[in-house]
């Protein structure tokens, strides 16, 4: 499906609708094939042992899936997560941002299914994988 929002519009939407977390994320790329979102890792994202916490990685996956869907349907603030399954596969590299490479696998009238692979910036092996389903309100 063709894109209806680009990085600038998605960034502005996130800042307007979710100002409490918008500064944690940056959109690195938006294409018809995938959307790449960066978690700007800070001290508040870490857990004991110096690695990025699971809740922070979940937030990255959720935001990335949301933005990938909005890039295709436009600014629908009330699209919501209905399901998430997440696998944590390896420890993220210390001191590096995380990148979520996100694909929309199915975009229907009321549901969207996404796949998110999370990498340490510069890493070639995913540290986590998430499958998220979103409910899309009537438009």
Domain 7-135 part of CATH 2.40.50.100: no
Is residue 1 within 8 Å of 105, Cβ to Cβ? no
pLDDT below 70 — which residues of the chain? Answer: none
- Residue spans of the domains in the chain: they are 7-135
DSSP state at residue 100: E
Residues ≥6 apart with Cβ < 8 Å to 108: 136
Long-range contacts, 8-12 (Cβ 8 Å, 24+): 9/75, 10/67, 10/70, 10/71
């Amino acid at each position: 499906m063709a894109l209806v929002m680009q990085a600038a519009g998605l960034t502005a939407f996130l800042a307007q609708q979710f100002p409490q977390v918008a500064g944690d994320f940056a959109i690195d790329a938006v294409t018809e094939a995938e959307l790449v979102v960066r978690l700007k890792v800070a001290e508040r994202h870490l857990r004991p042992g110096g690695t990025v916490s699971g809740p922070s990685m979940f937030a990255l996956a959720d935001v990335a899936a949301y933005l990938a869907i909005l890039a295709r349907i436009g600014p629908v603030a009330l699209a919501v997560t209905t399901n998430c399954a997440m696998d944590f596969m390896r420890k993220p590299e210390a001191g590096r941002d995380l990148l979520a490479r996100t694909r929309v696998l199915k975009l229907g009238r009321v549901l969207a299914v996404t796949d998110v692979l999370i990498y340490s910036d510069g890493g070639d092996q995913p540290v986590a994988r998430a499958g998220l389903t979103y409910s899309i309100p009537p438009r």
